[in-house]
Structure 1
Amino acid sequence: MNVPDTVGHNIGFVGTRFAGTDGVSLEADKWAKVLWEHKHVSYWYGGKMDTDPDITSLVPHAYFGHPDIQWINRRIFGTTTRDPEVTRRIFALAEYLKHTLYEFTRRFNIEVMIVQNALCIPMNVPLGVAITMFIAETGFPTIAHHHDFYWERDRFSVNGINDLLSMAFPPTLPSIQHVTINLPGQADLSHRKGQSSILVPNVLNFEDPPINDDYPHSFKEDIGLSHEDFVILQPTRVVPRKGIEHAISLVNSLNNPKYKLVVTHESGDEGDEYMHALQEMAERQNVDIRFVADRVGEERGNDREGRKIYTLGDCYAAADFISYPSLYEGFGNALIEAFYFKKPILVNRYSIFVTDIEPKGFKVVTMDGYLTKDVVTQVRNLMEDGAYRQEVVEHNFELGKRFFSYSVLERKLRALVTNFTGMDDL
């Protein structure tokens, strides 16, 4: 690893997982890149990792998917009490994980710890308790980056750990600076915990526009479409809260056989029933829907069968229009990605869009829970009027650069780090 000429502070990222393309991992990587540009060196602690082993502490029990953590989760959610053995295991694992945090901070001489989502959503309760106890014992300078709170998820509403949620999700300790990603989260944290926070939105590197090369030109052909077809891209996982049934209805209402709906991601750990329901719905409405997760990866290349693999950015490049009819989003990365890749987009007016993004003045097609003739007409105009479409996407790119760029993140991180160090380190 090439270390900057003048090393700043050693930053320790702590979470359950830093691997793959989940939102938390992606945002943590962006934070690390901005910190690196300003001479800060990042180190990583977690249970599932694809970071450099030389700068990583891999602790399997920190991963929420570890069998021991899953055993606990099955016994603390959906019930209002917990067995004494569950309590014993939670605190035994928390004590062990706290010890590994001491080792991590000593091994890499960590000066500031950045906890990514592990102190707000109880996917791994022992880890949250361990981090809280570690900070309470050491007064360690900590930035707690909260992407989702447990009170936002129905699955955590009935539980047998209210005492631990009050203690650690998130904790109220003087050496913690809290960071939220949207205005409702900021307000909820203040109301529920009496804690102020700095608002740091999810960002993209608008200062460095996407590469425009020939690689994505074969995408349509490789997924069985012709170059004359128009791709309406659904760049999300296949889960009910993404509202993909609205995208099917949109394509049906556009009434053009050349319009194809392409879905980039898999169902994940929530099962395939929703995907099967979507396939049946598309068949009834005579909509050509393609699920292409097997052709989309983190890097360009070829799979074991020799087929070309495309990145999500390649999918955006090949798309003509973006569908984003989500019912709920913690922020809405796909929306910012559409602005970055200069694509027009349809948005269902989910709450965070209404509070954090819509007031900025972006030009998008919006729906309020259902499609109307006017919505379909607006989409058709953007698909068919090239000059109008170009005007819209250029406008959105410039606004994205102003409000959701790396320079915005840099300003926010400067304040957070300076609060601990007393020096303008960024």
Structure 2
Amino acid sequence: MLKMKQTIGICHYRIGKTDGVSLEIHKRKKALEQLGYQVKLIAGPRSIGTDYVIEELEFDNPAILKIKENAFFKFKNFDSVTVFRYYLYKYTEIIKQKFLKIYEKENFTYLFLHNIFTHGRHIAAAKAFCEIAEETKIQVIAVNHDFYWIGSYKDIYKPQIPFVKQYLKKYVPPQTPKIKHAVSNSINQKALEKRIGVKAFICPDTFDFKQQPWMKDQYNQDFLSHFGLKSNDLIVLQATRISTRKGIELAIEVVKQLGQMKKKLVGKTLYNGKKITPNSQIVLILAGYAEEDSLDYKRRLQDLIKKTGIKAVFIANQIGAQRRREKGKKIYSLWDTYVYADLVTFPSWWEGWGNQFIEAVFAKKPIIVFEYPVFRADIAKEGYQVISLGHKLKQTKAGLVTVPELQLKQATDQTISLLTNKTTKQLLESNFRIGKRYHSEAILIQQLKQLLKR
């Protein structure tokens, strides 16, 4: 008799996008399948490629938004805490029962929960899955990318009533032997241990370094012309989502500085063979999307772009995790954007690790980095050579961030030097080897084997 494959569930609010968590889920699914498991994806309705949809897992669902707003911003839509508690528990139970129906069918051996127990966006889901862990035989692994009480979230999620404080202490994250915790960096490991006394397993981001290099091909050959760009334009790629903590205004400032020093580039041949001419433009491509709570930030970025006069193109509506056609419209993959990039900006001031950093390393592109805490604590010591924006920020009157002028000037000078230096390819090859050593798919498989041990 053939032995049945064990089934693993992977659950998140959204899956199949170009955000870091979606990309990590895709990698884990592939690796788990290589290990012989059957993998099923569970998420909310704004997902691509899921096996099961639970409507109430969407954090922008009106009911879930109402819970978040009253829990953390202003308690105004409920007559009493008792009514609020009833409303919260109602959605906890809905999520729980819908998942249990899936469990009846799939009989999961393991369940990976990404960011379910970590921040205030969806506290109803935390209680639901804590109860599922306690009441079933599923071996639950919580993969915690962010925590609401540190980093970019600590000034956002402020409990408005004592009940929410108690709830968070119990469920976000929960302390139970039925749940194994993993984190993506040493900072989060220390934060979790301090909060609930559990030392989590560290699983930094990884990448498939054995895959074929991303190249120009028949599908993406029209990429530049499609977005109104020329083959001799200097393309600066910002591949992250549009979110405040991504510090994208720093990328805009870098492109502005490069524009002011363009004469140092004209007539030069870049490390990749591209020749910059007087009619070459320096263009910032923004490939990531903005969620609803980041639309105001996107508008501020657009205002800054207009003020600085740089050329910037927002292309998220035609970028996906995979190539496809949607209602007759060509959707390029995120990887296609790297093919045409001459330079990658990664100016985030807070990251759980940094998918776009390791993607740029694989793509062998020069990277401009703001040295965010996890970069300084975990990544820099691996030995990558990057263009640094330093690690000190100042707030502007527009609610954006900036770095000291001297640091920006030094980074721009270094960028021009690196773009035009014949030894740059050697540097990028060195970065690639370091990335492959510490963050390859083989490392991911080792991580998963450790997590699946009991």
TM-score by length of 2: 0.84
Paired residues of 2:141 and 2:179 also in contact (CA < 8 A): yes
Whether 2:222 is the aligned partner of 1:242: answer no
Equivalence map 1:54-133=2 (5 Å) = 56-79=51-74, 83-133=81-131
Deviation (angstroms), 1:376: 1.3
Q: 2 CA distance for matches of 1:277 and 1:93?
A: 35
Aligned-pair identity in percent equals: 28
Q: What SS is found at the alignment partner of 1:100?
A: helix
Q: 2 CA distance for matches of 1:206 and 1:298?
A: 17
Q: What SS is found at the alignment partner of 2:257?
A: helix
Deviation by residue 1:118-156 (Cα, 9 ceiling, x = unmatched): 122232222211111222233632111111112131221
1:296 aligned residue? 319
Which residue identity does 1:374 align to in structure 2?
A: Q
Distance verdict in 2 for CA 1:99–1:286, change over 3 Å: closer
Q: What SS is found at the alignment partner of 2:453?
A: helix
Q: 1 CA distance for matches of 2:3 and 2:410?
A: 57
Q: 2 CA distance for matches of 1:412 and 1:68?
A: 36
Deviation by residue 1:287-316 (Cα, 9 ceiling, x = unmatched): 222222233234335565x66432211111
Which residue identity does 1:158 align to in structure 2?
A: P
Which residue identity does 1:410 align to in structure 2?
A: I
CA RMSD of aligned residues (A): 2.3
Q: 2 CA distance for matches of 1:360 and 1:144?
A: 26
Equivalence map 1:297-312=2 (5 Å) = 297-301=320-324, 308-312=330-334
Which residue identity does 2:64 align to in structure 1?
A: I
Deviation (angstroms), 1:173: 0.9
Whether 2:232 is the aligned partner of 1:219: answer no
Choose 277-286 or 410-419, whichever is displaced more. 277-286
1:47 aligned residue? 44
Q: Which one of 369, 382, 395 corresponds to residue 418 of structure 2?
A: 382
Deviation by residue 1:378-409 (Cα, 9 ceiling, x = unmatched): 10011112x32211211111111111121111
Deviation by residue 1:234-253 (Cα, 9 ceiling, x = unmatched): 11233332222222222222
Q: Which one of 188, 192, 196 corresponds to residue 195 of structure 2?
A: 192
Q: What SS is found at the alignment partner of 1:373?
A: helix
Deviation (angstroms), 1:348: 0.5
Where does structure 1 lack aligned partners over 5 or more consecutive residues? 420-426
Whether 2:205 is the aligned partner of 1:202: answer yes
Choose 387-396 or 12-21, whichever is displaced more. 12-21
Whether 2:358 is the aligned partner of 1:319: answer no
Deviation (angstroms), 1:178: 0.5
Paired residues of 1:19 and 1:49 also in contact (CA < 8 A): no
Distance verdict in 2 for CA 1:300–1:58, change over 3 Å: closer
Paired residues of 1:119 and 1:171 also in contact (CA < 8 A): yes
Distance verdict in 2 for CA 1:264–1:44, change over 3 Å: closer
Distance verdict in 2 for CA 1:25–1:84, change over 3 Å: same
User: Matched residue pairs, number?
Assistant: 411
Paired residues of 1:144 and 1:176 also in contact (CA < 8 A): yes
TM-score by length of 1: 0.89
Equivalence map 1:117-196=2 (5 Å) = 117-138=115-136, 140-152=138-150, 153=153, 154-160=155-161, 161-196=164-199
Q: 2 CA distance for matches of 1:16 and 1:308?
A: 26
Q: 2 CA distance for matches of 1:283 and 1:63?
A: 34
1:348 aligned residue? 370
Q: 2 CA distance for matches of 1:243 and 1:208?
A: 30
* Stretches of 4+ aligned residues off by more than 6 angstroms: none
Where does structure 2 lack aligned partners over 5 or more consecutive residues? 263-279, 394-402
Q: Which one of 384, 389, 392 corresponds to residue 367 of structure 1?
A: 389
Distance verdict in 2 for CA 1:295–1:132, change over 3 Å: closer
